[in-house]
Chain A
Amino acid sequence: MAAMKEKTDVRQGTLALMVLRTLDVLGPLHGYGIARRIEQISGDVLAVNQGTLYPVLLKLEQEGAIASEWGASENNRKARFYRLTKAGRGVLAAETRDWEQTAAIIARFFDAKAEDLS
C-alpha cells in the first residue's frame, strides 16, 4: 500500500501546474487529451489513476484559472474542452516563477559540497 501511494501521490499543486502548462502550450484540450500529454511528458506519473485529474480540473475552473465548454472531439464525440483563461496565464506565470525559484534553491543544496556548507 505504501509503495502504491508513493507512485501516485502527485501533489495536487504539481498536477495543477502541469495542467496549466499543457493548456498553455497546446491550447484548448479535453480531459483525456490533457491526461495523455501529461503522461507522455512525465512518464508514468499519471499511468494509473488518470481520474485524479478531474478534481484538479474542477478546482482550477472554480478558481477561474481555466474555463470549459462542450465541443466535439477529433472523432466527433461530445467532449468537454478546457482552455486557459487570462487569470490562468497569470497564475501559471507566478507559479512557474515560484517553481523555478524553489527548484534553483533545492538544486544549489544538492550541488553543495561539504566544504561549502561548513
Chain B
Amino acid sequence: MRLLRRFLARLGNFATGRGVDQRLREEMEEHIALQTAENLRAGMPPSEARRQAVLKFGAVQAIREDCHDEQGLPFIDNLVHDVRYALRQLAKSPGFAAVAILTMALGIGATTAVFSLVDVTLIHPFTYPQPEQLVRVEDDLPGVGAHDVGMSQPELKDLERSGIFQYVSMVGGGSVNLTGSSQPARIPFLAVTPNYLALLGVKPELGRWFDPADQTPGFTLDVLLSDGLWKQSFGADPRILGRSLRLDNDLYRVIGVMPPGFHDPGRTTEQRNTALWAAAGFSAAPAPASARTARITDGVGRLKSGLTLAAAQSRVDALVAALQKQFPNDYPLQSAWTVRLVPLKESVVGNVRQSLILLLGAVGLVLLIGCANVANLLLARASARGREMAVRQALGAARKRLVRQLLTESLVLSLLGGVAGLTILLGAKGFLLQMVPESLPRLNDISISWSVLLFALAASVVAGTVFGLAPALQTGRLDLTHMLKLEGRGSKGSAEQTQTRRILVVTEFALSLVLMIAAGLLLRSFWDLYNVPLGFNPRNVMAVRLWLPIPNDPKTDIYGSAAQEAPFLRELLRRGRSLPGVREAALGSNASIPLDHIRNLSPLILEGRDIRSKDPPMVEQSDVLPDYFHLLEIPLVRGRLFSEMDDEKAPQVAVINEALARTYWPNQDPLGKRIKVNPAKPVWITLVGVVADARTESLAKESVPQIYLNGYQTTPKELVIFLRGQLDAATIPAEVRAQVQSVNPELPVFGAKTLDDALSSSLSERRFSMEMVALFAVTALLLAGLGIYGTISYVVSERTREIGVRLALGAQRGEILGMVLRQGFGLAVSGAAVGLVGALIASRLMAGLLYGIRPTDPLTFAGVTLVLTVVALAACYIPARRAMRVDPLVALRYE
C-alpha cells in the first residue's frame, strides 16, 4: 500500500515536472539562511557564518539529486536520457549506424516475413470458433493398400449416434457448370450434409443456412454462394435470395451468401476455393444407394467439447471394432478397416509444415548471424569508446548505469532496425507474395497483423539484447586504471574482447555452414527432381479443361451414355486438330493431366482373384482417347495401344503401365487378362497393352501403378483436350472455347495451361523453400564474410606495431601474410567444425524434404565447407595484404 502510494506520487511528479525541485531549493535556501542567522548570533563574522552553514548542510547538488531520485521515476527518466544519448551517439557515427540498422532491418524484416506466413498457415489456419475441435474423419483399408477411401452413409449415421461428435458431416467436393450468366463457368462446389455450417460455426452473411428439415436422400435444390461468386457472377445483387440458377442443367435456388473472407477448410486449393455449397443426404441419386460398402466421400466432425483427440480416437476404434463384428460381410478382416481422426488443421497444413518450419529456422539463423555481426561492430566501438567509459566510471557513474546505457543503445539500434525492416516488408509485400506458391493455405490472408507486429517487436528486443549484452557487460568490467593510463595512445581491446570477437566469428561461420548445407541439399534435391527422366514429353503441349454437366436426373443428361458422348468427343478432337499451329490433339479425363495432383482412385478387381474381397486394391485410373500416348510420347512396351476401332460399340479394353503389371501380375503376362474398375458393372475389361512408367502422377515417385481406360467407352465428364504444336498460349484458350461452344454453348472451358507450367508449378513448393533457404544462406555467407573481415582487420590494426617490429627484425612479408591468413583460416576451420555437427543434425531433421540424396550427402558437405573456407580466406586476404605492406618505420613511430 505504502509502495503503491509512493509510486502514484512519483508518477504524479514525473508527469507534473519540476515543481518539487523548485520547492526543495527554496526550502534548502531557507534552511541555510536560518543556520547562518544562528551562526551570526553565535558571534561568527558574516562570511564565515554563511560558509559554515553551507558546510554543515552538505552537498546541495547531491541532495537535490537524491530528492530527484526520490520523487520522480528514475528508471523512466534514465531511459529517456539513455535513449536520447543513444540517438546522439548513432547520429555521430552514421556509417556504423547505417550498417548496423540495415543488418538488423534485413534480419528482422525477413524473420517477420516468414513469421507472417507461419502465422496464417500453421498457427491460425482457420477463422472458425474452437478450431481445435474440428477433425477430418478418414477411412483406411490398409489391408488392401487403400487409404482415405471415404465413408459410407450408414457409417455417417453410426458416427452421429456415437456421442463422440457435436456434429459430423459428409463433404464431397466437385465442380458444377454454372450456366445462365454471361459465360458458362465451372464452379468448385461442395456437397455437404445440412449440418455442415453449424459444424464449422459460421453464419451466412445473407439468408440462411440449410435447415435440418432440408434433409433429403439426394440433393436439396438449395445452394449457398461464396461472397466471391456472389460479387463476380451476380454483381452483389442484394435480392439474390430466392433467385434460381442452373447448375449442370438443374435448377437450384439461392438461399444464402457466405461472409467475405470465409474459406472452406478443404485439403486442396480447389476445395478451399469452394464457391457453392449444396446440401445432400448422400443416400440417393446422384449418390449410390445407401450401403456400408458404398464409400462416398470424406467426413468432417466437431468433437464434443472437452473430448481430447486421443479419447475420441479410442472411442471411434471401439465403434469400428463393434461394427466389424456386426457386419462381417461388409468389413472383411483382410481389408483391416480403420477410421482415423485427423485434426482438420493437420490435414490442411500438414504437408507444408516441414517446409515452413525449415524456413523459420533458416531465417532465425540469419537473424542470429546478423546479431553476431552487429555485436562485433559494437565490440569494436566499445574498445574505441573505452576511454569515454573509463572516464565516466572514474567520475562516479555506476557500472550498472553504464551497462544499462549500452544496452539501451543496442536496443535502440535493433528497434530502429525492426521499424526499418517492417517498412521494407510493407513496401515489398506485393513482390514477396508473388514468390509464395499458390498452394499455401490462406495465402490471401497473409497480412501484417497484430500478432506479426508483436512478433517483430519481440524479435527486435531479443535481438537487441542478444547482440548488446556481451559488449555491454565487457565494458562494465573495464579495468579503470589501465584504461586511463593508456592516455592518448588509442585504446587496445582487452584479451577478453578479442576472445569474444573470435567466438562470435566462429559462431557466424558455424551457423552459415548449417544454412549453406541445408540450402545445398535442397538445391541438389530440386535439381535431381527437375532433371528426372519424366517418361513423357511436356514440351509444346497445352491442356485445356472442359466439363460436361451431370444433371441429377439421368434422363436430362445428353451425354449420359457412351453412344451419346463418343460422337461429341470425336467432333471435339476434329475441331482441336483444325486449330492454328496444332499438330496433334488428344482427349482424356482430368486425371490424365500430368502432374496435376488430381487423384482418381478406382478399385481394381481382377478376374478370378479375390472374389470374396469386397475391398479391392485402389489404383490410379484415367480415361483417354487413342492419341493420348502418342501425343505425350509415352512408349508402348507390350501389346497394343487403343485404336479408333476400340469405339463405344467395341468390347471394353484397357492399357496399364509397367508398375501395375509388375504389382498385380508379377512374372506373368497381363495381356488378355480381364479386370473391372466398378464392382457394380457386369462388364469385364480386357487388358490389351502395357506402356512404360511415366511420372505423370508425381515427380518424386518413379512408378505409380496406373490403368488407362478408353474414353470412348467410359463417358468421362471431366475432360481435358491436349494440343501439341507451335501454340500461342495467349490465344489457344479462347480458340478452344469458341470451338467447344460452337458445339454446345453451355459448356465451360477453363484451366488452360502448358504442361511445362504444370511441371514447374508441381515443383513450386520445393522451389520456394529452396530459393528462400538459398537466399538466406547467401545472406548468411555474406554476413559471415564481413564478420571475419572485420575481426581480422581489427586484429591487424591492433598488431601493427608488432608487425612493424617483426619486419624490422627481418621477417619476410610473405610470412606476415601467412601469419594473418592462418589466423583467419583457424577461425574458419573451428567454425566449420562446429557447423558440420549442427548441419548433421539439421539435415537429419529435414530428411523428409530431400529427394534422391541422403541427408549426409558427402559431396554437399565437402563442397559447402570448401566454399565457406574460400570465402573466409578471401575475406582475410584484404587485411592480410594490408598487414604485409606495413611500413616498419611508420608502424614504430606510431607509438
Contacts and interface: CB of A to CB of B under 8 A. Distances in A.
A54 B24 contact: yes
Nearest to B55: A48
A77 B33 contact: yes
A74 to B, nearest CB: 9
Contact of A62 (B5, B23, B31, B63): B5
A59 interface: yes
Interface string B1-32: 01001100110000000001001101110110
A54 B5 contact: no
Contacts of A78: 26, 30
A20 to B, nearest CB: 14
A69 to B, nearest CB: 11
A35 interface: yes
A77 B28 contact: no
Query: Most B CB atoms within 10 A — which of A35, A52, A62?
Result: A62
A51 B30 contact: no
Contacts of B858: none
A79 to B, nearest CB: 5
B30 A49 contact: no
A54 B28 contact: yes
A47 B56 CA distance: 6
A51 B58 contact: yes
Contacts of A48: 55-56, 58
A27 interface: no
Interface in A26-58: 30-32, 35, 47-52, 54-55, 58
Contact of B67 (A55, A79, A80): A55
Contacts of A47: 56
A32 B35 contact: yes
A78 B10 CA distance: 26
B59 A59 contact: no
A73 interface: yes
Interface string A61-80: 01110000000010101111
B58 A62 contact: no
Interface residues of A, number: 23
A51 B54 CA distance: 10
Contacts of B70: 55, 58-59, 62
A63 B6 contact: yes
B60 interface: yes
Contact of A50 (B24, B57, B66, B71): B57
Contact of B31 (A49, A50, A58, A59): A50
A63 B23 CA distance: 18
A30 B26 CA distance: 12
B30 A32 contact: yes
A26 to B, nearest CB: 16
B339 interface: no
A45 to B, nearest CB: 13
B37 A54 contact: no
B819 interface: no
A7 to B, nearest CB: 12
Interface in B769-792: none
Contacts of B24: 54, 58
A64 B1 CA distance: 11
Interface residues of B, number: 30
Contacts of B6: 59, 62-63
B321 interface: no
A58 B35 contact: no
A51 B59 contact: yes
Query: Most B CB atoms within 10 A — which of A49, A54, A59?
Result: A54
B703 to A, nearest CB: 83
B56 A80 contact: no
Interface in B294-347: none
B37 A75 contact: yes
A58 B58 contact: no
A58 B71 contact: yes
B34 interface: yes
Contacts of B20: 58
Interface string A7-24: 000000000000000000
A91 B703 CA distance: 88
A43 to B, nearest CB: 14
B30 A63 contact: no
A54 B27 contact: yes
Interface in B705-732: none
B63 to A, nearest CB: 4
B58 A50 contact: yes
Interface in A89-118: none
Query: Most B CB atoms within 10 A — which of A31, A48, A55, A75?
Result: A55
Contacts of A58: 20, 24, 67, 70-71
A63 B1 CA distance: 9
A7 B533 CA distance: 92
A31 B31 contact: yes
Contacts of A79: 27, 30, 34
B621 to A, nearest CB: 84
Contacts of A31: 27, 30-31
A91 B60 CA distance: 29
Interface in B60-82: 60, 62-63, 66-67, 69-71
B30 to A, nearest CB: 5
Contacts of A49: 56-59
A88 to B, nearest CB: 12
Contacts of B66: 52, 54-55
Contacts of B62: 51
Contact of A63 (B5, B34, B71): B5
B71 to A, nearest CB: 6
Given A58-B71, A62-B5, A63-B5, A52 B30 contact: no
Given A48-B58, A51-B63, A30 B30 contact: yes
A10 to B, nearest CB: 12
Query: Most B CB atoms within 10 A — which of A58, A63, A77, A78?
Result: A58
A54 B67 contact: yes
Nearest to B65: A55
A58 to B, nearest CB: 5
Contact of B34 (A52, A54, A73): A73
Given A49-B58, A51-B58, A51-B63, A63 B27 contact: no
Nearest to A33: B34
Contacts of A54: 24, 27-28, 63, 66-67
Contacts of B58: 48-52
Contacts of B71: 58, 62
Nearest to B60: A51
Given A58-B71, A62-B6, A52 B27 contact: no
Nearest to A49: B58
Contact of B56 (A50, A73, A77): A50
Contacts of A55: 63, 66-67, 69-70
B757 to A, nearest CB: 74
A73 B26 CA distance: 14
Contact of A51 (B10, B26, B28): B28
Contacts of A73: 30, 34
A79 B57 CA distance: 16
Contacts of B37: 75
Contacts of B69: 55
Interface of A: 30-32, 35, 47-52, 54-55, 58-59, 62-64, 73, 75, 77-80
Interface of B: 2, 5-6, 9-10, 20, 23-24, 26-28, 30-31, 33-35, 37, 55-60, 62-63, 66-67, 69-71
When A and B form their complex, which 9 residue pairs have the shortest distance between CB atoms, in order from nearest?
A: A49-B58, A51-B58, A51-B63, A62-B9, A32-B34, A55-B66, A32-B31, A51-B57, A62-B6
Given A62-B9, A63-B2, 11 more contacts: A31-B30, A48-B58, A51-B28, A51-B57, A51-B62, A54-B28, A54-B66, A55-B66, A55-B67, A55-B70, A73-B30
14 contacts: A30-B31, A32-B30, A32-B34, A47-B56, A50-B31, A51-B31, A51-B62, A51-B63, A54-B28, A58-B67, A58-B71, A62-B6, A79-B27, A80-B30
